[in-house]
Amino acid sequence: MAKHLFHVEKRTIPVGDHSIRLLILRPRSMGGEKPSGVLWVHGGGYQSGSAKDVFATRALSLVVKYGSILVSPDYRLSKKHPYPAALQDCYAALLYMKEHAEEIGFRPDQLMVGGESAGGGMAAALCMLAHDRGEVNIAFQMPLYPMLDDRDTPSSADNHAPNWNTKRNHKAWKRYLREAWGTDLVSCYAAPARRTDYRGLPPCYTFVGDIEPFYCETADYVRRLREAGVEAELDVYPGWFHAYDLFFPAKKIVREAIARFEERFAYAQAHYFAPQDTEDSR
């Protein structure tokens, strides 16, 4: 998508004893009302990728077509920094968005999160951490084909589909979790499928292919949200391997899937709000 349709700003924010870079994407033309703000987390199995990957993801249309302001964090990768480094960085970016909503230019009661693959897993983890800490409220989550479960599921075990498979999945989880991998010591903030209580989490939309490793854990995530009384929708696409939509964006079925994703985002813009607590109201 042509960059003349949006403006890109780079910022650096402190996180503990280090700092991370944020990319902020704004539509060139801003309407009268403040738009929603979206924290979009890149994929890469927590071990690769960068904030600039956002330019090739579903998130870009949220800026160009729907006028949202998008923030993409360059979180630390597991090659050098295992869990919880990435979570700490992304949560710091989320708090930064809340605290600077007015200055960045989006409405604070419509702070959303999303991402593909590991970024989708991080989006889910952030919803859980934000709910439990009570420091920031998230209005809507879009964890697309998310990386949620460090344990084998029926679809992630013995999976040999293109792009992402059992071998790559095990390697990525082991690198992210280090000594905790393969044990019961894994937190739901590292692997969101470990959570048992889904009450109070934000409404959700996601999609996934039925031959990829994350099919079962994505379907289970949506089922458990619904059982907890959370509005959640899932679209499943037959024959799609991992990140199929990014490989074949021109295919008719992919264009239909993109339209469906954008339709659900437009619905969220009109219906989902989560006002932020102030210091006085705590």
- The CATH number of the domain where 248 resides is what? 3.40.50.1820
For residues 47 and 266, give the distance between their C-alpha atoms in angstroms, rounded to a whole number. 32
Q: Quote the pLDDT of residue 33.
A: 85
Q: Going by C-beta distance under 8 Å and a sequence separation of 6 or more, which residues neighbour residue 184?
A: none
Q: Name the residue range of residue 78's domain.
A: 3-26+36-274
User: Is 72 inside a domain boundary?
Assistant: yes
- Of 27, 20, 24, 21, the closest CA to residue 8 belongs to 24
Distance (Å, whole) CA 73 – CA 98: 14
280 located within any domain? no
Strand pairing category for 140-144 and 69-73: unpaired
| DSSP β-ladder status, 18-27 and 69-73 | antiparallel
Q: What is the pLDDT of residue 30?
A: 72
Kindly state whether residue 40 falls inside one of the protein's structural domains.
yes
Q: How far apart are alpha carbons 273 and 57 in whole angstroms?
A: 24
Q: What one-character DSSP code corresponds to residue 235?
A: E
The pLDDT of residue 279 is: 54
pLDDT value, residue 3: 59
Beta-carbon count within 10 A of 247 CB: 13
Name the pairing type of β-strands 6-15 and 232-237. unpaired
Residue-by-residue pLDDT tens, the chain, 282 positions: 455 689 999 999 999 999 999 999 999 877 678 999 999 999 999 999 999 999 999 999 999 999 999 999 999 999 999 999 999 999 999 999 999 999 999 999 999 999 999 999 999 999 999 999 999 999 999 999 999 999 999 999 999 999 999 999 999 999 999 999 999 999 999 999 999 999 999 999 999 999 999 999 999 999 999 999 999 999 999 999 999 999 999 999 999 999 999 999 999 999 999 999 875 444
Q: What is the pLDDT of residue 2?
A: 54
Task: Give the total number of structural domains in the chain.
Answer: 1
How many residues are there in the chain?
282
Domain assignment present for 90: yes
In a domain, 281, yes or no: no
Residue 8 lies in a domain: yes
Report yes or no on 236 lying in a domain.
Answer: yes
pLDDT of residue 278: 72
